[in-house]
Structure 1
Amino acid sequence: MNPRQLLVPLALLSLAIAGEQLFADAPLSVAADFEGGSVAEVEIDPAAGSIRFMPGGDPARGWPCWWYFRIDGIQPGQTITLQLRGSTATVGKQKPLGASWAMPKRATYSTDGKTWRQTDPGQRDGPIMTYELTPDTSSVYVAWGPPYTPKTAEKLATRLSEASPHVEAMQLCRSREDRAVPMLHFREGTRTAEQRFGVWIQARQHAWESGSSWVAEGFADWLAGDDRQAAWLRQHADVYLVPIMDIDNTATGNGGKNAIPRDHNRDWSAKPHWNEILAAQQKVGELIDQNRMDLFIDLHNPGPGDPTFFFVPPRELLKPQAVEAADQFMELAYQRISRIEPSIPMNNKPRVTGSNYHPLWRQISKNWVSLNGNPHTVSVCLETAWNSPASTQAGYKAVGENLAIATQQFLAKQPEKP
């Protein structure tokens, strides 16, 4: 058998993915037996140091574009070649998802599972995208983008709540698969609820969109810090932040987008399917009832052909009083984010979607909030570019920090609560 066509026997691959060490000097193997892990159809050529694969995930639980696994048995200094194909998985009569959704220009890798770096740009040849990396360790994690798992969200909540008396680690709810959904509440001082602005930040309604969670973490880190503007925001607002909404699919390595019966961002209905949506509706509804649902931000990732960050406001649903305010907020955020160094690609032209976007367009979160919110409620989506050299942990968190500063600047211009 030509070693370049070597296919790992199914039994051997299963043991490798289960994390079993077959023998002391084991050849290259792949493992995905950890939170968020996802890979399928693995073929390994030990002699060439190449791994051919496609994204894993159950297509009934969302687009199969997310991949994240560990490679073991590497000779330090050995060049590893990743050969990625788009998933062929389908549901019913659907066509397979376009391969480009699974193919970032640069793959992400880590030797410790914490700090993530980008590979050089991959090379696409027809249906195959090839990435190369040369780790100096015997194991390396590789992923579609920097992973952000439920454990990462839990660590964020614990770290900030233990470090600051102004941060409360909460639980939005428990998911349908009985996982905790971490939420942070930022509040300082003696102002009553009625005297405070209401701010809701949420990320990851689609599990594969990991960059949005890093943006949320950057927002949270800044807001918990010592900056005078951060203190002002804590003193004048109740800020709620959910780093991961689709917790179950994030934990199990599924895509989440277009999940059956509907994904989280199409579930903002009178009878939500997902526990997270029902709980978020209730919390946001309380702010609406108190006439202080001032700013709602939903963090997402866009398509593979979108190289910039950009806002999506529900223009035709915003109440007249909120239209100008939304423009003011988006401009403040654009001015902050577009000046980050090194450069973050940011588009100052919001992209408007309306009734022709999706049959369930009224059940999209930002639209539901606009329809049900207060006359002054500003509700927007920020799309998080993932095909840029700045699509890194540091880049995403810098966007989150500057989004938080823009939030403070925007609210400081609004009339104070009585």
Structure 2
Amino acid sequence: MKKVFLVLSLIGNFAFGQEIKIESDFPGGNIIISKITQDTAYIKPDLSLNEREWFHWYFKTLNISGKRVTFKFEQNNVFTKYGPAYSINNDRTWKWYGESRITNNSFTYSFNEEDTIAYFSVSIPYTEKNFNEFLSNVKNPDLIEKSTLCLTDEGRKVEKILISPSGDEPKQRVVITARHHACESSASFVLEGIIESVLNEKNLEYLRENVEFLILPFMDKDGVENGEQGKYRAPRDHNRDYDSVSLYQTTATIRNQIPEWGDGKIVMTLDIHSPWVLGGDNETIYMVGVEYSQFEKEQMKFSHLLEKNAWEDLKYYHKNFMPFGVSWNTNKNYSQGLSFMEWGLTLNGVLMSTTLEIPFANVSGATFSADGGRGFGKTVAYSIKEYLQSISAKNEFD
């Protein structure tokens, strides 16, 4: 994706000769600037690699001290319920601007005199930098083996994380993936919570002693770093690349490596996503049902566990489970190709393969935050433990 920046000479409430800059030439950045009229910037998401309209955007502004700027979008459906996420004078402390501040696809921000740079995004961003920072601060990092799955088409390293039992061979294996669609950043905070919980939660010894996790945090690594939509990428996106010949190096590599690595011990695969930007089901955490009843029964068990273990701020409700054939979850939606969830069902030994959808901002009335996402990751980790324990107990009884 071609990155852009434009020096904007704004008039009106700006002093003569002062200029601000709008840039997207940084990891995750995405914006197209159409024109500037007085104190208003007319902008829209870059959809240059997409077959359909989507909503990801993320930019920074400079030379903003004491200025008041309106950012007007030339595309509908580009804001969450709580408006844009923003971070002033850094790209670390993110807040939601507020739903009452969006008018006619635009928002206005009045910068203080001490403000020098501001970041705005449709969601709380997450790129390789964030993941590396997480790993550098996580407790018990010696339990993690970090390596490279493969190189992308653009030469980036795709991270592969293994968390393995310290002694004996694992009794069970689990595969967890995220960011098949590059822009779905809320999924990454949940993944952090899963990893942190598996490594450190006192009551998750069962996982540390019996289960090996293979975790792939960036399935569309180039898309994440380039700031691309990822969803509905032409000619097909990464989560429709699991049949015929894979177009992307990441999907081709795991199709080749995971079956051998699994050795018949993979019992569960989990793919974490984010849905459409707002409204209806898109503002609840939900699981996506599979077509086959024997596998859906296992999903139902896991769904009930998620509801039971949802102690933190972000809640999961089993009533939001989306069965196959409901809403977008139909054969038509998978016409481009096989998804990771469907491919997971073909692996030897797998009892459950599922997808979790994590909203960007509004989660059943609660506001999504980085810590909230990590808290739900803890819910997922405890649910994985209980699900795997039930399988182990059943096998011993049989």
TM-score (norm 2): 0.84
Report what 1:312 is aligned to: 288
Q: d(CA) in 2 for partners of 1:261 and 1:201?
A: 25
Name the SS of the counterpart of 1:358 in structure 2. helix
Deviation at 1:367? 1.0
Q: Deviations over 1:249-287 (max 9, x none)?
A: 111111011112210000011321111111222343125
1:285 maps to which residue? 259
Classify 1:255/1:409 alpha carbon distance in 2 versus 1 (closer, same or farther; 3 Å): same
- Cα displacement (A) at 1:130: 2.6
Q: Which residue of 311, 317, 322 corresponds with 1:351?
A: 322
Task: Give yes or no for the alignment of 1:230 onto 2:204.
Answer: yes
Bigger drift between 61-70 and 204-213 goes to 61-70
Q: State the distance in 1 between where 2:70 and 2:96 align.
A: 14
Amino acid at match of 2:332: Y
Q: 1:85 aligns with which of 74, 94, 98?
A: 74
Amino acid at match of 2:372: G
Residue 69 of structure 1 is aligned with which of 59, 71, 85?
A: 59
Residue of structure 2 equivalent to 1:328: 301
Cα 1:344/1:333, change in 2 over 3 Å: closer
Structure 1: 5+ residue runs without aligned partners?
1-11, 17-24, 87-98
CA-CA distance at 1:345 after TM superposition = 6.2
In structure 1, give the amino acid aligned to 2:388.
L
Gaps of 5+ in 2: 9-16
Change beyond 3 A, Cα 1:273–1:35: same
Q: Secondary structure at 1:415's aligned position in 2?
A: helix
> Does the 8 Å contact 1:84/1:103 carry over to 2?
no
For the 8 Å contact 1:35–1:253, the answer to whether it is kept is yes
Deviations 1:42-67 (A, max 9, x none): 54466x4x433111242348755211
**Pairwise CA RMSD of aligned residues?**
2.7
| Larger mean Cα displacement after TM superposition, 326-335 or 346-355 | 346-355
For residues 53 and 143 of structure 2, the distance between their equivalents in structure 1, rounded to whole angstroms, comes to 38
Worse-matched range after superposition: 149-158 or 401-410 = 149-158
Give the corresponding residue for 1:149.
127
Deviation track 1:194-215 (CA, whole Å, cap 9, x = no partner) reads xx21111111111111111121
Amino acid at match of 1:138: T
Q: Which moved more, 1:385-394 or 1:343-352?
A: 343-352
Matched residue type, 2:99: P
Listed one character per residue, the Cα deviations across residues 91-148 of structure 1 (whole Å, up to 9, x for unaligned) are xxxxxxxx21x2222211113212211111155555x243546566221111111111
Show the counterpart of 2:11: none
Q: Once structures 1 and 2 are overlaid, which stretch shifts more, 54-63 or 395-404? A: 54-63
TM-score, structure 1 as length reference: 0.80
Match of 1:5 in 2: none
Deviation per CA, 1:283-329: give whole Å up to 9, x if none. Answer: 431255x2212111111111232211100021x236x3x44332211
Count of residue correspondences = 371
Distance in 2 (alpha carbons) for counterparts of 1:326 and 1:346: 13
Shift of 1:68: 0.8
Q: Do the aligned residues in 2 keep the contact of 1:217 with 1:243 (CA within 8 Å)?
A: no
The C-alpha deviation readout for 1:319-358, integer Å capped at 9, x for no partner, is x3x4433221111112223x423x5464533112355332
Hey, what does 1:298 align to over in structure 2? 271
Aligned to 1:380, what secondary structure does the other structure show? Answer: strand
The one-letter amino acid of 2:62's match is D
Greater shift in the superposed pair: 133-142 or 249-258: 133-142
Q: Partners in 2 of 1:264 and 1:56 — Cα distance?
A: 19
2:387 corresponds, among 397, 402, 410, to: 410
